[in-house]
Amino acid sequence: MCQTSKTMRTAVEQADVVVQARDGIKLPGGEGLVDQLNGLNAWCKVTVLRLNSCGLGEGGGRALAEALRLNTTVTSLNLGWNRLREIGGRALAEALRLSCTLASLDLSDNGLGEGGGRALAEALRFNTPLTSLNLSVNDLGEGGGWVLAEALRCLGSNHLGEEV
């Protein structure tokens, strides 16, 4: 069993709801990520997923999006500093459209670009529980920024935190 899988397995068995990769653990391109997450007996119970700075890249974003479609309990997702780029961002946005539980999302410093920002904006129109969002350092451009602002405004009564 690889070190990453052990770390995830241990985190889930101990906390039963949190999966966190420790500093220094890398999942380049998301290789094996879906198998590792789906292999966790408690994947359907995970509410907090922290995979910041794991080097996921675009492939990892796509792999994680696939895994997230099988999980309806994640309330907090931290994927900061993973170089997801537009392709990984679009894949995650599509998976997030289906989420009715996500309250906190950190996609900081992933280079999502305008296309990733637009895809995320569309997904956020359907994600009403969102209360915390960090999209800093993503070069969303004016177009991506405007559509995101409109999507967030449409969330209506939700109060988004200072991180927006």
By residue count, the chain amounts to: 164
Residue ranges per structural domain of the chain: 3-154
pLDDT digits (tens, 9 = 90+) for 27-70: 666 666 667 776 665 677 788 999 999 889 999 899 899 888 87
pTM: 0.79
> Checking DSSP bridges between strand 18-20 and strand 48-50, what pairing results, if any?
parallel
pLDDT digits (tens, 9 = 90+) for 100-112: 889 999 999 999 9
Q: Where does 3-154 sit in CATH, by number? A: 3.80.10.10
Please, are residues 95 and 63 in contact by the beta-carbon 8 Å criterion?
A: no
